[in-house]
Structure 1
Amino acid sequence: LDVVGVHLVGGIVGGLLLGFFADAKVNKLVTNEGVFLGGGFSLLWYQFVACAVTFAFSFVASFIIAKVIDKTIGLRVSEEDEAEGLDFSQHAETAYSFGSTGSMDRLN
């Protein structure tokens, strides 16, 4: 789950680069062009503020959701389940078989 690499980094880079490359020729709704097109730093500042507000909102919302889950059903499994392995304790399956198979390969 590469949430940070995909959503956090991609969202911030995409949001901030819009402040550099926004072009009214591409989108007629653009009122402030990007820095590289002579629009100044106002759009870049708006994009930075939007990224910061989005980050703060997402952090607070995720924190509240995690606290509610922790207080209701819990975020962690027991130490016994951790020692046994979550594949077996939660799904009754094993990912790897570390035992012998009961047969030997013949080379001849």
Structure 2
Amino acid sequence: MSRPTSHRQSAPRSGVGSQSAWRLRNIESLLEDLRVNGPATQRQLAERTGFSTATISNLVNILRADHRVRTQSVISSGRRAVLVDSSEVESKNVTIRASSGL
């Protein structure tokens, strides 16, 4: 027996458990990992954060479009990979050096 499909659209949710709220939490977790542990390939980020490689790819695309991370093609273990580096880390370091007179 197949279930009838509903064509009713639900209103977008923006509460605590909504998709957009989860995405924001995931972005914050990814940026925090980059701040603490430094640049990594997308596969390494997936291993470090516990997110799937597809989730990492989607988050990196969002952050790259917002100019919050940079990506670079690299070879890792003989395979093509994408290295992700947080633009925020570099800009914060520049700000600290400028404000301290260094």
| TM-score in terms of structure 1 length | 0.27
The higher relative CO (CA closer than 8 Å, separation ≥ 6) is in 2
Question: Whose radius of gyration is greater, 1 or 2?
Answer: 1
Task: Point out the structure with the larger helix share.
Answer: 1
Task: Point out the structure with the larger strand share.
Answer: 2
| TM-score in terms of structure 2 length | 0.28
